[in-house]
Amino acid sequence: MSGTAGQVIRCKAAVAWEAGKPLSIEEVEVAPPQAHEVRLRILFTSLCHTDVYFWEAKGQTPLFPRIYGHEAGGIVESVGPGVTDFQPGDQVLPVFTGECGDCSHCKSEESNMCDLLRINTDRGVMLTDGKSRFSIKGKPIYHFLGTSTFSEYTVCHVGSVARINPAAPLDKVCILSCGVSTGLGAALNVAKPKEGHSVAVFGLGAVGLAAAEGARLSGASRIIGVDLNPNRFNEAKRFGVTEFVNPKDHKKPVQEVIAEMTGGGVDRSIECTGNVQAMISAFECVHDGWGVAVLVGVPNKDDEFKTHPMNLLNERTLKGTFFGNYKPRTDLPGVVEKYMNKELEVEKFITHSVPFTEINKAFDYMLKGEGLRCIIRMGD
């Protein structure tokens, strides 16, 4: 164990004190890990749209003060009682969901939605004892998604941490712990396009472009990108997108436009916006008889998906996916190996990099729609 094992660590963290206000770099105390927990030193983290959504407190119960962040890479500093599968020094990716290994979902080959550790946006404390491991002068600071990576040190449940190749560069592969794997897995594990297939991708942010990358790796011959922002079209070509449709350029519904372009519909579609109308379009634009539509984006809580039952009876398939159907501890190391083997490029997703002291710049880039992923260097 390290020299700090069992002790409170004082370090810097970016704390959100209230909704929508810039994060404040503070000295926080990080308590030692308890049973089934590990304490990590975060080296690189990235900003995901989910962090921004909850920081803005849109559509959910606000919980402040809080430490956000869930896309990251680091090393194990120490482990709590009962932890046998990690050692200090292990290189890891913390993940916003988890894999306890014991529940029916974890034992199923078909699911990655762990009963114990699946995403919970409302919980701001650890499962072990219902307390936070973060505090400032004795006042608890809430966790976020069980990861809270906008801190130089954090504590995670052991089931929400994936050990990866120690040679993998954390400043690159840290982005595989959320958005990129979500989109990539939606294509490779769920839509499963075949060689020569046509694929429509709705939403060309980081998740959508990762889905396009997955379609490209699968051998899709046509990848149609659908987005309301034409500025994204040039960049999307680097991810295998071959054609573009802006729904604003057409008077008819975009599903009809795509059906005309493709002789009846695409073989596969992947929806990555969370807009319920885009979800309906993504389903209705797939070919009858064999078309498969996959929903990735998270809708607003009051949204309703409406389509005519004949669209299903005509042998179209509608699927949903969570984290690309990857089991975090079992499958994420293999995604990192795809990068190490040069099968997967992650560098093209990284458009900005800032030191930790300038973390609010990363929020500015995302709010302005500039770039894809901004790496935050914790040591700077």
Q: Which of 70, 232, 329, 352 is catalytic?
A: 70
DSSP for residue 189: I
Q: Which of 168, 2, 163 is nearest to 86 (CA)?
A: 163
Position 1 confidence tier, pLDDT thresholds 50, 70, 90: low
Cα–Cα distance measured from residue 293 to residue 89, given in angstroms and rounded to the nearest whole number: 42
Q: What is the pLDDT of residues 331-370, one digit of tens each?
A: 999 999 999 999 999 999 999 999 999 999 999 999 998 8
284 is an active site residue: no
Element (H, E) at 185: helix 179-185
11 is an active site residue: no
71 is an active site residue: yes
pTM for the full predicted model: 0.95
59 pLDDT higher than 70: no
Q: What is the pLDDT of residue 109?
A: 95
Domains of the chain: 9-177+346-377 (3.90.180.10), 183-321 (3.40.50.720)
285 is an active site residue: no
100 is an active site residue: yes
Letter string b/e over residues 283-307, b meaning 16 or more CB atoms within 10 A of that residue's CB: bbbbbeeebbbbbbbebeeeeeeee
Left if phi > 0, otherwise alpha if psi is -120 to 50, otherwise beta: which for 318?
beta
How many of the other CB atoms lie within 10 Å of CB of 138? 6
Q: What is the pLDDT of residues 223-234, one digit of tens each?
A: 999 999 999 999
- Of the CA atoms within 13 Å of residue 235, those in its CB half-sphere come to 19
Q: What is the mean pLDDT of residues 312-338?
A: 98
Q: Which of 36, 39, 66, 114 is catalytic?
A: 114
58 pLDDT higher than 80: no
49 is an active site residue: yes
